[in-house]
């Protein structure tokens, strides 16, 4: 078995797919025989692509950063240039990947990020969710256009598909009319180092970051489907005494179409106890989870939902929405809120901040809820698919059936 895995999504600042790619590759290489799993890109191409991914957030215009016609025009031109470079980079990577595949003669290619690069290898593709197809208004026009041009062709090239939740698997089967035996669910996992920490260690990191000792936490990219504007409005409607005691910390970078959140943050929320930290470095994530009174996650749609499970692994309380896979992952243990019900979010926030008994009940047994979700398990399930597709013995199981 000789498999190549596309790691492009793991380069630069990581969101959910980036963490999935990074941790899956780490565990695959630990579990598979030496030399069985290769990464793409490597060498100088990988280094150039990683530098470009790191530079991209600095090149793109930030929400609310430009004011006036001239600055707005400059921001538009800059983003247009970035889009042009991105398209040129995609074209180069596609051609280079074909050459690498022809030279190395892989048995299988796995792309963790929706649309596989064209090649002659049998292909496994991970589809984390279908939000671009079902809710294009939540995504930038260039991403939607890219999916319209390439997603169906990539789907046709894929021998097998991976979903990251049973809910997502059923959505793929139903929406894309894919036979069930062609789709396997492989749950995501909890990153190493995420667990309960000593209070002194947490306080040291919070001081280093200039953060308050007590806060409510939102962690994730600020973009339309994350529903951050509703969260800000619900939080800002709380009594001032609660907000003074428990500021709301937004830990996440600006995503697409977040100007309304940026405007509300600037005009209203930052005067009422909201702090925007921005993208949170990996080494600080565990401490910031541990320092929070509660993680709030009002998402409108989720294929999995890593932050709530990671918060549970740290022993923390979670208020999450009932969107998508969150019911599957959390519904048996936590009260879930309708994502559009601002009054319910306000009431839940007031209760979790003011009622220590209820807050304690939300934390009981949460580490056990998160414990089954490991990257080792994800890699083992993924390797089972690889081996079946490569014709190796996997104990009589066929891809898709095990997670049906």
Q: Are residues 165 and 303 in the same domain?
A: no
Q: Is 221 exposed, middle or buried (0-12, 13-18, 19+ CB in 10 A)?
A: middle
Q: Are residues 185 and 225 in the same domain?
A: no
CA dihedral 78, 83, 89, 95 (to 10 degrees): -150
Q: Are residues 170 and 255 in the same domain?
A: no
Q: Are residues 379 and 316 in the same domain?
A: no
> For 222, which DSSP code?
B
pLDDT score of 50: 78
Domain that holds residue 103: 3-189+374-389
**What is the Cα–Cα distance from 187 to 198, expressed in whole angstroms?**
29
Task: Report the b/e string of 265-298 with b at 16+ CB within 10 A.
Answer: beeebeebbbbbbeebeeebbbbbbbbbbbbbbb
Question: How many structural domains is the chain composed of?
Answer: 2
pLDDT score of 67: 47
Predicted confidence (pLDDT) per residue in 53-71, tens digit: 767 666 555 554 444 555 5
* Pair 172, 130: CB distance under 8 Å: yes
Name the 3-class secondary structure at 334.
coil
Residue 252 within a domain? yes
Query: In angstroms, what CA-CA distances link 327 with 165, 283, 308, 332, 362?
Result: 11, 29, 12, 8, 16
Per-residue pLDDT of the chain (404 residues; tens, 9 = 90+): 999 999 999 988 778 899 999 999 999 999 999 999 999 998 888 788 778 776 766 655 555 444 455 555 666 666 666 666 677 878 889 999 999 999 999 999 999 999 999 999 999 999 999 999 999 999 999 899 999 999 999 999 999 999 999 999 999 999 999 999 999 999 999 999 999 999 999 999 999 999 999 999 999 999 999 999 999 999 999 999 999 999 999 999 998 889 999 999 999 999 999 999 999 999 999 999 999 999 999 999 999 999 999 999 999 999 999 999 999 999 788 889 999 999 999 999 999 999 999 999 999 999 999 999 999 999 999 999 999 999 987 665 667 645 44
Residue 404 within a domain? no
pLDDT score of 362: 96
pLDDT score of 14: 79
Q: Are residues 212 and 359 in the same domain?
A: yes
Q: In this structure, what are the phi and psi dihedrals at residue 380, rounded to the nearest 5 degrees?
A: -65, -45
Q: Are residues 140 and 25 in the same domain?
A: yes
Residue 310 within a domain? yes
Q: Are residues 166 and 291 in the same domain?
A: no
Q: pTM of the predicted model, to two decimals?
A: 0.88
**What is the Cα–Cα distance from 308 to 305, expressed in whole angstroms?**
6
Measuring CA to CA, which residue among 242, 318, 317 is closest to residue 274?
242
> For 314, which DSSP code?
T
> For 196, which DSSP code?
-
Residue 273 within a domain? yes
How many other CB atoms are there within 10 angstroms of residue 102's CB atom? 12
Sign of CA dihedral 117, 122, 127, 128: negative
| H, E, C per residue of 158-171 | EEEEEECCHHHHHH
Residue 134 within a domain? yes
Sign of CA dihedral 43, 45, 48, 54: negative
pLDDT score of 164: 97
Question: 71: which residues sit within 8 A by CB, 6+ positions away?
Answer: none
Q: Are residues 140 and 278 in the same domain?
A: no
Beta strands in 63-149 (DSSP E): 108-111, 123-126
Sign of CA dihedral 8, 13, 15, 18: positive
Q: Are residues 257 and 127 in the same domain?
A: no
Sheet holding 37-40, edge to edge: 37-40, 3-6, 108-111, 123-126, 158-163, 183-185
Secondary structure (DSSP) of 172-194:
HHHHHT--GGGEEE----PPTT-
**What is the Cα–Cα distance from 150 to 129, expressed in whole angstroms?**
16
Quote the tokens at residue 378: 């994800």
pLDDT score of 89: 78
CATH, residue 329: 3.40.50.2000
* Pair 153, 146: CB distance under 8 Å: no
Secondary-structure breakdown of the chain: helix, strand, coil percentages, each rounded to the nearest 5: 55, 10, 35
Q: Are residues 258 and 304 in the same domain?
A: yes
């Amino acid at each position: 078995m000789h498999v190549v895995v596309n790691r492009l999504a793991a380069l630069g600042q990581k969101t959910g797919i980036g963490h999935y790619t990074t941790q899956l590759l780490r565990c695959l290489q630990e579990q598979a025989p030496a030399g069985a799993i290769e990464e793409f890109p490597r060498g100088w191409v990988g280094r150039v692509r990683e530098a470009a991914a790191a530079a991209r957030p600095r090149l793109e215009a930030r929400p609310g950063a430009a004011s006036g016609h001239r600055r707005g025009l400059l921001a538009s031109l800059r983003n247009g240039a970035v889009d042009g470079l991105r398209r040129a980079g995609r074209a180069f990577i596609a051609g280079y990947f074909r050459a690498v595949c022809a030279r190395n003669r892989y048995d299988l290619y796995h792309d963790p990020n929706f649309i596989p690069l064209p090649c002659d290898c049998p292909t496994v593709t991970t589809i984390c969710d279908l939000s671009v197809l079902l809710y294009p208004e939540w995504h930038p026009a260039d991403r939607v256009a890219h999916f319209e041009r390439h997603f169906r062709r990539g789907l046709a090239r894929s021998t097998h598909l991976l979903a990251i939740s049973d809910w997502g698997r059923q959505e793929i089967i139903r929406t894309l009319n894919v036979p069930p035996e062609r789709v396997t669910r492989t749950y995501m996992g909890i990153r190493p180092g995420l667990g309960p920490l000593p209070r002194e260690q947490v306080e040291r990191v919070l001081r280093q970051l200039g953060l308050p000792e007590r806060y409510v936490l939102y962690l994730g990219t600020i973009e339309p489907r994350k529903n951050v504007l509703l969260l800000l409005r619900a939080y800002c409607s709380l009594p001032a005494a609660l907000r003074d005691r428990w500021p709301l910390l937004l830990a996440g970078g600006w995503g697409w179409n977040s100007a309304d959140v940026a405007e509300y943050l600037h005009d209203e929320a930052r005067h009422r106890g909201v702090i925007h930290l921005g993208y949170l470095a990996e080494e600080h994530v565990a401490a910031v989870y541990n320092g929070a009174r509660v993680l709030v996650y009002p998402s409108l749609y989720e294929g999995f939902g890593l932050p709530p499970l990671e918060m549970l692994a740290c022993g923390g309380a979670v208020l999450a929405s009932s969107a998508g896979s969150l019911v599957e992952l959390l519904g048996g243990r936590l009260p879930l809120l309708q994502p559009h019900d601002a009054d319910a979010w306000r009431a839940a926030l007031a209760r979790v901040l003011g009622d220590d008994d209820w807050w304690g009940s939300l934390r009981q047994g949460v580490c056990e809820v998160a414990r089954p979700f490991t990257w080792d398990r994800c890699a083992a399930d993924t390797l089972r698919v690889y081996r079946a597709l490569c014709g190796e013995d996997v104990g009589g199981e066929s891809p898709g059936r095990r997670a049906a």
